[in-house]
Amino acid sequence: MPVIVVANPKGGVGKSTLSTQVAGYLAARGHAVMLGDVDRQQSARTWLGLRPDHLPRIQPWDIDRDEVVRPPKGVTHAVLDTPAGLHGKRLEAVMKLADHVLIPLQPSLFDIYATGNFVRELQARRKHDRVQMAAVANRVRAGSLSAEQLRSFLSTLGLPVLTELRDTQNYIQLAAHGLTLWDVAPHRVEKDLAQWAPVTAWLNQAG
Three-class secondary structure of residue 103 per DSSP: strand
pLDDT at 69: 59
> Using CA atoms, how far apart are residues 57 and 59, in angstroms rounded to an integer?
6
Sign of CA dihedral 114, 117, 119, 125: negative
Terminal Cα-to-Cα distance of the chain (whole angstroms): 8
User: What are the structural domains, with CATH classification, of the chain?
Assistant: 3-206 (3.40.50.300)
Q: What's the pLDDT band for 67 if we cut at 50, 70, 90? A: very low
- 81-134 pLDDT, tens digit per residue, is 988 887 778 888 888 888 899 999 988 888 888 888 888 888 776 555 678 899
Q: For the chain, what percentages of helix, strand and coil (3-state, to nearest 5) are there? A: 45, 20, 35
| Cβ-Cβ contacts under 8 Å for 2 (sequence gap 6 or more) | 77, 78, 99, 100, 206, 207
Q: How many CB atoms lie within 10 A of CB 196?
A: 22
- Is the pLDDT reported for residue 196 higher than 90? yes
Which range scores top for mean pLDDT: 22-36, 43-57, 68-82, 110-124?
Answer: 22-36
Predicted TM-score (pTM) of this structure = 0.91
